[in-house]
């Protein structure tokens, strides 16, 4: 079997085994990709057809814009799989040019070509042409798609060292959340009339020939000119585009060759800064140490460092912030329509606490397998839990207080702010206390989408999920006295409020003390089981 | 088979950002020799091996492996060597069986022959039939090493580069694999072996080279190294190694540790 065919075979195996449930996942992936590809085709068809019907003189402009969007979108979404990294295949006697061709051709294996077919169908049906022109356009489109595949691979090869670094992986996780969350927020904020305005802006720009003028210097502009085949420059543009595509192939082989003989990418020694690293939040941790003891400060610092450095946990924190949008946006839009939103601070405060529960009810989840190391420490288990509480209070409370102050000032009753903050603090303390018990009795792996896990890990099962939902309900039940004081008893008389606030805070403190003591004891008793639980993760 | 040495290195040099990772190393390894290549961490062992395997271009000097120039004919070198790296970064979504077959086919062997050899090799490294059908991602470190060794041997290499091959492999399998390697050497295969376990190097290798800070400090059999270190022919490899490196063994004053 030739090297080329082996590279294709490799891609097929990886595609088939991307998930444990191979056949089902493959069929689901195929069905969803087909639906998405039909959607893309329909969008392209609508784009071309509508522009030809409504603005026939501007169709060329829209085509230029469309190809630029496809070009940029493809490069943004292109898969950066490390399957064909030269350092991995370099030990075999394979020619760098074969590796480049093979890795690019392997892009055909998978669901991506469905989108190519969708784009082709949309363009061909949206702008019917005589057979020779249709054939020319189809051939050009094939070159266009090959060009995109070559360019994606070239980008990956050029930035391989950076793209395989831990720094990039951490950054990529954050970027994907920020971009995804940004789109989500954008569509929440954008309203239908604004979309209509945007379309008018695009039409106005097309009338001014903005797209052809500014996109012509770029390959997508050359391609658009070639595809339109409506002027003397079309053939020159086609030759230029095909020439650039051929140059990408030559360059790809050369870069592949350079990487196969370069310094090892995967075995690269990390560059270390001179001198000892400065401990994170040294001053704050020292103050915690003076207040509560060095062991509590050390645990709090460890937890803070994990929250700061672990990209998956950071992602979870950020994702939670984006999920707050529906809670904020709905009432904010309602207020714009005429009514105030006095309960928004309450709703938002509750939402913040709810999204923080994933950490507060799963204190040991961030440790995972490292719990074994924690178990070796001669520290009271109660103090380990307390150290974690100090960390979460330091991370979450300032954010909660800041958000509540801003939202109350904008939407709510500013006079109620001190009381709202007091009730919020009481609720937080109740959740933290109850969370220590829940964490010790129903620990959970911190499951985050995209996290790579071994195939042999069993799912936790319905009984465990049911047990955990019971503990969640019990936690909310423990919260009910604070809620009762805030929403029912406070309405009985204004003089009663001070007593209720003090009572709520006292209740929270007492519950916290009892829960922590019980959780500390339970942690000691169940330590072996807890370590075993995470070891199976 | 020609009479040229399996490995011939002359003034081999590699610079990284001006720093000499390998500094004018010259050595020759005969065909059918079990050669040990030792040095402390960061001495330049891996860089040297990568250059000899055609995976990295030297900054200066020259090297021939199995009669092929590593700079001008890297594909010729790769076709004749087998490599077992220290960390097994491989295609972990293939099964062990598929991975060995894939390797054999990448070396241009006929499919039927690859299947025959894969069966023999996986028997040899003691990977039972059920484990062969598991994905490599689910393997333990020892199983990964065994499969990687089978991949390195499937095409019948003339020279075998092994970087800590027994790391993570149990004692029983280690003993069996050592016998396999000695058998290969008796058939004319050259083994270029690096390890930090000096007792194993002393037991297996006919000659040893010691590298430190990119320079080859000493070269010879274990008794010859003892003589070069000024300790006499009966000195152990460990004693000679420490003496030749010329560094004091640090002990430190652990005054807080009580007896």
| Contact partners, residue A54, CB within 8 Å, separation at least 6 | none
User: Confidence band (pLDDT; 50, 70, 90) for A82?
Assistant: low
Best mutation target, A19, A92, A268, A456, to test chain B (most B CBs within 10 A): A92
Supply B67's token pair.
Answer: 């009669």
What pLDDT does residue A336 have?
Answer: 58
Share of chain A above pLDDT 90, in %: 15
What is the mean predicted confidence (pLDDT) over A108-112? Answer: 82
* Per-residue pLDDT at A448: 45
> What mean pLDDT do residues A524-532 have?
86
CB of B98 less than 8 A from some CB of A: yes
Contact by Cβ (8 Å): A385, A374: no
Which chain B residue's Cα is nearest to A96?
Answer: B75
Asked if the Cβ–Cβ distance from B78 to A455 is below 8 Å, we say no
Is 0.90 surpassed by the pTM of this model? no
Pairwise CB contact (< 8 Å): B83 & A3: no
Mean pLDDT for A237-243 is 90
Cβ distance A266 to B89 less than 8 Å, yes or no, reads: yes
List the single residue in B with minimal CA-CA distance to A266.
Answer: B89
CB-based contact A1 B111, cutoff 8 Å: yes
Give the pLDDT band (50/70/90) at residue A189.
Answer: low
The lowest-confidence range among A243-257, A493-507, B8-22, B242-256 is: B242-256
pLDDT reported for residue A188: 66
The pLDDT, as a whole number, for residue A452 is 41
* CB-based contacts of A45, cutoff 8 Å, min separation 6: A121, A122, A123, A125, A126
Instruction: Give the per-residue pLDDT at B9.
Output: 96
Interface A-B: count of C-beta contacts within 8 A? 66
pLDDT band per the 50, 70, 90 thresholds, residue A57: confident
Whole-number pLDDT of residue B40: 92
pLDDT at A453: 43
Per-residue pLDDT, averaged over A367-396, amounts to 86
Whether residue B101 lies within 8 A of chain A, CB to CB, comes out as no
| pLDDT for the residue B49 | 92
The pLDDT value given to residue A268: 43
Q: Are A159 and A255 in contact (CB under 8 A)?
A: no
What whole-number distance in Å separates Cα of residue B129 and Cα of residue A410? 69
The residues near A243 (Cβ < 8 Å, ≥ 6 apart) are none
Residue A381 above 80 pLDDT? yes
When the pLDDT of each residue in chain A is averaged and rounded to a whole number, the result is 79
pLDDT of residue A514: 96
Answer whether residue A505 shows pLDDT above 90: yes
Chain-chain contact of A13 with B90 (C-beta, under 8 angstroms): no
Q: What is the pLDDT of residue A537?
A: 53
Residue in chain A closest to B80 (alpha carbons) equals A93
pLDDT on residue A63: 84
Give the confidence band of A115 by pLDDT, cuts at 50, 70, 90: confident
In chain B, what residues touch A93 (CB-CB under 8 Å)? 75-76, 78-79, 106-108
Which B-chain residues 67-86 have CB contacts (< 8 A) with chain A? 74-76, 78-79, 83
pLDDT at residue A386, as a whole number: 93
Give per-residue pLDDT as tens, A463-472. 767 777 888 8
Tell me which chain A residue has its CA closest to the CA of residue B74: A93
Chain B residues touching A6 at Cβ < 8 A: 102, 105-106
pLDDT over 80 (residue A78): no
pLDDT(B35) > 90: yes
Residue A269 pLDDT level (bands cut at 50, 70, 90) = very low
- Cross-chain residue pair B78–A454, CB shorter than 8 Å: no
Mutation pick from A26, A91, A269, A455 vs chain B, by most beta carbons of B within 10 Å, is A91
- B165-211 pLDDT per residue, tens: 888 788 888 888 898 899 999 999 999 999 999 999 999 999 999 99
Name chain B contacts of A17, Cβ cutoff 8 Å. Answer: 93, 135
Q: Distance between CA atoms of B6 and B4, rounded to whole angstroms?
A: 6
Instruction: Out of A165-179, B104-118, B191-205, pick the least confident.
Output: A165-179
Residue B140 — φ and ψ, nearest 5°? -75, 170
Q: How confident is the model at residue A262 (pLDDT cuts 50, 70, 90)?
A: low
- Bridge-based pairing state of the strands B159-163 and B81-84: parallel
A132 interfaces chain B, CB cutoff of 8 Å: no
List the B207-212 sheet strands across, edge first. Answer: B81-84, B159-163, B190-194, B34-38, B207-212, B215-220
Mean pLDDT of A192-197: 66
Task: Please give the pLDDT value at position A112.
Answer: 81
pLDDT per residue as tens digits for the range A275-322: 444 555 566 667 777 788 888 888 888 888 778 777 767 777 777 666
Residues A213-233 have a mean pLDDT of 81
Give A462's pLDDT tier (boundaries 50, 70, 90).
low
Q: Which of residues 9-28 of B touch A (CB under 8 A)?
A: 16
Above 80 in pLDDT, residue A182? no
Q: List, in order, residues 6 or more apart from B131 with CB less than 8 Å away.
A: B96, B139, B143
Average predicted confidence (pLDDT) for chain B: 89
Calpha distance B201→B238 (Å, rounded): 10
Give which of B227, B189, B213, B233 is closest to B35, Cα–Cα: B189
φ, ψ of residue B61 to 5 degrees: the values are 80, -170
Cα of first residue to Cα of last residue in chain A, in angstroms, is 40
Say yes or no for a CB contact (<8 Å) between A263 and B16: yes
HEC string for chain B? CCCCCCEEEEEEEEEECCEEEEEEEEEEECCCCEEEEECCCCCCHHHHHHHHCCCCCCCEEEEEECCEECCCCHHHHHHHEEEECCCCCCCCCCEHHHHHHHHHHHCCCCHHHHHHHHHHHHHHCCCCHHHHCCEHHHCCHHHHHHHHHHHHHCCCCCEEEEECCCCCCCHHHHHHHHHHHHHHHHCCCEEEEECCCHHHHHHHCCEEEEEECCEEEEEECHHHHHHHCCCCCCCCHHHHHHHHHCCCCCCCCCCCCCC
- Is B231 an interface residue toward A (CB < 8 Å)? no
Contact (CB, 8 A) for A122 and A42? yes
The alpha-carbon gap from B45 to the nearest alpha carbon of chain A, in Å, equals 13
CB B86 within 8 A of CB B167: yes
pLDDT of residue A274: 43
Among the listed ranges A91-105, B143-157, B194-208, which one has the minimum average pLDDT value?
A91-105
Largest CA distance in chain B: 66
pLDDT in tens, A411-456: 767 788 888 899 999 999 999 999 999 999 988 876 544 444 434 4
The answer to whether A92 contacts B103, with C-beta atoms less than 8 Å apart, is yes
Q: What is the mean pLDDT of residues A473-485?
A: 89
Range scoring the smallest mean pLDDT among A5-14, A38-47, A54-63:
A54-63
- Taking the C-alpha atoms of residue A44 and residue B236, their distance in angstroms, rounded to an integer, is 76
Determine contact, residues B61/B12, Cβ cutoff 8 Å.
yes
- Range with lowest mean pLDDT among A444-448, B97-101, B154-158: A444-448
- pLDDT at res. A518: 96
Beta-carbon separation of B111 and A13 below 8 A: no
């Amino acid at each position: 079997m030739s090297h080329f065919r082996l590279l294709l075979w490799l891609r097929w195996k990886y595609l088939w085994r991307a998930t444990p449930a191979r056949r089902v996942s493959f069929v689901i992936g195929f069905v969803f990709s087909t639906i998405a590809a039909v959607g893309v085709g329909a969008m392209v068809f609508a784009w071309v057809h509508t522009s030809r019907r409504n603005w026939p003189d501007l169709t060329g402009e829209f085509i230029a814009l469309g190809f630029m969007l496809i070009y940029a979108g493809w490069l943004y979404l292109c898969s950066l799989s490390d399957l064909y990294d030269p350092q991995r295949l370099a030990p075999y006697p394979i020619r760098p040019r074969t590796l480049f061709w093979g890795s690019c051709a392997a892009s055909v294996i998978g669901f991506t070509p469905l989108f190519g077919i969708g784009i082709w169908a949309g363009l061909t049906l949206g702008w019917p042409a005589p057979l020779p022109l249709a054939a020319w356009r189809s051939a050009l489109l094939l070159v266009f798609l090959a060009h995109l595949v070559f360019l994606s691979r070239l980008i990956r090869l050029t930035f391989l060292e950076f793209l395989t670094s831990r720094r990039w992986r951490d950054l990529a996780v954050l970027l994907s959340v920020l971009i995804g969350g940004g789109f989500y927020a954008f569509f929440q904020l954008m309203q239908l009339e604004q979309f209509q305005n945007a379309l008018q802006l695009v039409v106005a720009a097309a009338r001014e020939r903005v797209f052809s003028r500014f996109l012509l210097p770029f390959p997508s502009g050359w391609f658009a000119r070639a595809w339109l085949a409506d002027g003397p420059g079309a053939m020159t543009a086609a030759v230029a585009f095909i020439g650039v595509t051929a140059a990408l192939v030559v360059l790809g082989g050369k870069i592949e060759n350079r990487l196969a003989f370069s310094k090892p990418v995967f075995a690269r020694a990390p560059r270390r800064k001179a001198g000892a690293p400065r401990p994170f939040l040294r001053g704050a941790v020292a103050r915690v140490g003076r207040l509560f003891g060095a062991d509590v400060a050390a645990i709090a610092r460890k937890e803070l460092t994990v929250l700061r450095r672990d990209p998956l946990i950071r992602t979870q924190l950020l994702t939670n912030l984006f999920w707050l949008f529906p809670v904020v946006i709905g009432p904010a839009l309602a207020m714009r329509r005429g009514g105030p939103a006095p309960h928004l601070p309450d709703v938002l405060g509750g939402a913040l606490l709810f999204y923080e529960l994933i950490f507060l009810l799963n204190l040991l989840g961030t440790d995972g397998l490292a719990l074994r190391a924690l178990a070796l420490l001669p520290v009271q288990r109660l103090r380990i839990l307390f150290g974690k509480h100090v960390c979460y209070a330091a991370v979450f409370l300032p954010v909660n207080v800041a958000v509540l102050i801003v939202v109350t000032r904008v939407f709510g009753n500013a006079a109620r702010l001190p009381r709202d903050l007091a009730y919020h603090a009481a609720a937080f303390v109740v959740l933290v206390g109850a969370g220590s018990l829940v964490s010790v009795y129903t620990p959970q792996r911190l499951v985050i989408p995209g996290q790579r896990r071994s195939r042999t890990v069993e799912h936790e099962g319905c009984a465990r999920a049911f047990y955990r939902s019971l503990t969640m309900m019990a936690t909310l039940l423990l919260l009910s006295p604070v809620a009762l004081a805030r929403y029912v008893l406070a309405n009985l008389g204004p003089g009663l409020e001070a007593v209720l606030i003090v009572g709520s805070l006292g209740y929270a403190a007492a519950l916290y003390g009892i829960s922590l003591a019980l959780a500390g004891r339970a942690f000691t008793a169940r330590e072996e089981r807890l370590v075993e639980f995470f070891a199976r993760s | 088979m020609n009479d040229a040495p399996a490995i011939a290195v002359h003034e081999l040099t590699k610079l990284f950002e001006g720093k000499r990772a390998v500094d004018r190393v010259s050595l020759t390894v005969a065909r059918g020799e079990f050669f040990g290549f030792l040095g402390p961490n960061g001495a330049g062992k891996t860089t040297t091996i990568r250059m000899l395997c055609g995976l990295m271009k030297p900054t200066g000097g020259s090297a021939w492996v199995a009669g092929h120039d590593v700079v001008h004919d890297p594909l010729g070198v790769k076709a004749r060597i087998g490599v077992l790296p220290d960390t097994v970064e491989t295609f972990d979504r293939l099964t062990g069986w598929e991975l060995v077959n894939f390797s054999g086919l990448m070396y241009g062997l006929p499919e039927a022959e690859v299947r025959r050899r894969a069966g023999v090799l996986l028997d040899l490294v003691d990977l039972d039939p059920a484990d062969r059908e598991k994905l490599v991602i689910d393997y333990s470190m020892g199983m990964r090493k065994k499969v990687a060794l089978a991949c390195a041997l499937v095409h019948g290499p003339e020279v075998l580069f092994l970087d800590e091959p027994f790391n993570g492999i149990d004692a029983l399998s280690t003993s069996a694999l050592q016998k396999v390697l000695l058998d290969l050497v008796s058939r004319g295969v050259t083994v270029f072996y690096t390890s930090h376990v000096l007792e194993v190097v002393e037991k297996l290798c006919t000659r040893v080279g010691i590298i430190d800070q990119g320079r080859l400090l000493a070269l010879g059999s274990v008794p010859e190294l003892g003589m070069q270190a000024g300790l006499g022919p009966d000195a152990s490899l460990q004693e000679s190694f420490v003496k030749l490196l010329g560094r004091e063994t640090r002990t430190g004053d652990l005054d807080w540790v009580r007896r």
